[in-house]
Structure 1
Amino acid sequence: MSDDLVVLVVDDDFHVGRLHAGYVDAVPGFRALPPVGTAEQARRAVHTHRPDLVLLDVYLPDALGLDLLRTLDVDAVMLTAAADPAAVRAAVRRGALGYLIKPFTGEQLARTLRAYARYRRLLADRTALTQEGVDRALNALRTGDAPAGGERARSATESAVLAALVPGEPRSAAEIAQAVGISRATAQRYLSALADDGAVEIQLRYGTTGRPEHRYGPVGR
């Protein structure tokens, strides 16, 4: 779990915040912190926990999320009912990587998170980038630009993860990690990317703890 991308949800409605945190936890490779409801709580949580991503509402009781946005040195996506063009322009101008208008489904948020994970992967472990690499990373944030399964070149590790999947026998990320010789979190990241490309399907199996376990199988193999 230590390699999961950590997400802080900031929403003035406690129940909505918990709902969105639940959406985050349902996406492999992501882990939600306890949601907070004010700008001041958000500042403290960011300082204490250093999340990878903040999901930020515009309307908070002690400040506008758009004003808070430009003070946070952390990646952020707006989750808000503010649908006016001026708010969208301000959010982009102040550094938001995405803008999702309420109400939205868990799958809509999952697509946004998977796009963010692709963006992070494309910028990971690189000392220098070509212009093409920069363009690919920025385009990854646009969920509609996700490549279809089989249409892009895969890294050796990603190909090994895909090859480790057994038709008709869904496997967990831990099982794939052991088969490939990588960490569970790394396997989970690659499996999420493959699922987003349409090459892998995800199933849920509930264990003895009651928490769902994601299991993965190949599509069309």
Structure 2
Amino acid sequence: MNDRPTINRRDLLQGRFWKLIGGSKIVPLVKRYPKPEPTKATPAKAIQGISIEPVRTTDLSQNPSRTIPVHRPPGAIAESQFLAGCTRCGDCITACPYDAIRKAPERLGNVAGTPIIDADTSACMMCEDFPCIASCEPRVLVDSVPPIMGTAKVTEHLCLAHHSTTCTVCSERCPVDGAIVVANGKPTIIEDTCTGCGVCRYVCPAPENAILLMPAFERPGVGGTP
């Protein structure tokens, strides 16, 4: 005679299975999962070794000790002296008859509020009497310093004159004699004569502006200080 208990489907469904095999030790099975592999760092996006990761907008207000070269009005002294002496009064801005001088935006940190020239908006017309210099009481704009604001260069692959198109607008409008010469219909900027006023960039009619304008990285100081 078979004394083994009978197990039917109802017993299983009602949880009687463990009772029917009472006395037996049940060793639960522990399922072992493989250890997770270390997470690999996502490789930086690059094309031919050049990173194409998005770059955050530069905000120098987070580090006020840093400055970047900016286009100052004519007669600006060395940048360290300029920042130390400029009162941000705005008198030179008011004195400019062409509205070429404006206050630097807040994102430029310790440069913010000081006078700069944005040639894309309005270039310096190199006035003969330089009213901006005459109006500057803190004397950070002085007539003893050459009115060199920077230098310009023609980007040939963007210039209309370098693509069989007649265009001499930059040379015609340049306020500095001899700063731009035209040979075979193509303009060339003479860097030793250029003052960086930005007129050539302001008037350039090319679909993508063909004038590269760079501010002066160094300017003479006053009192023998560079």
Same fold per superposition (TM over 0.5): no
| TM-score, scaled to structure 1 | 0.26
Comparing both structures, which one devotes a greater share of its residues to strand? 1
Query: Does 1 or 2 have the higher relative contact order (CA < 8 Å, sep 6+)?
Result: 2
Comparing both structures, which one devotes a greater share of its residues to helix? 1
